[in-house]
Amino acid sequence: YNRLYINFTLRRHIFFFLLQTYFPATLMVMLSWVSFWIDRRAVPARVPLGITTVLTMSTIITGVNASMPRVSYIKAVDIYLWVSFVFVFLSVLEYAAVNYLTTVQERKERKLRDKVRFSIS
């Protein structure tokens, strides 16, 4: 019996995906965490940083989905990018929560000061 043997060697060039997808997504997550070190009263610094990182992550996700073939299942890169997006978005929500709680605390302190001031008078 004559047989034909074919051996396919498939190699994936992972460096392209690291450079184009994983590395920028990781940098965006780290950049969004920079807002934790910015003063909570520095609204002009924190808001654009949060918005920029969220929009950049959504652009990365859109670009990756456009360059990948359409499949009916979730890919590992999708999970990585969506988890990264959630981290970036949560850093924006953290600032909103801190800003709200700080405002509530300042109102309570102001009311207490006014109450003490009027009771002394």
At 56-115, the pLDDT tens digits run 999 999 999 998 889 999 999 999 999 999 999 999 999 999 999 999 999 999 998 888
Check if the beta carbon of residue 26 is closer than 8 Å to that of residue 84.
yes
Write down the pTM of the prediction.
0.81
Compute the distance between CA of residue 60 and CA of residue 54 in angstroms, rounded to an integer: 10
Residue 118 confidence (pLDDT) above 80 = no
Confidence band for 121, pLDDT divided at 50, 70 and 90: low
pLDDT tens profile 31-56: 999 999 998 888 888 999 999 999 99
Between the alpha carbon of residue 108 and those of residues 26, 111, 113, the distances in Å are 40, 5, 9
Q: What is the C-alpha to C-alpha distance for residues 94 and 102, in angstroms, rounded to an integer?
A: 12
Give, rounded to a whole angstrom, the gap between the first and last alpha carbons of the chain.
111
Our measurement of the distance from residue 100's CA atom to the centroid of its chain's CA atoms, rounded to an integer in Å, reads 20
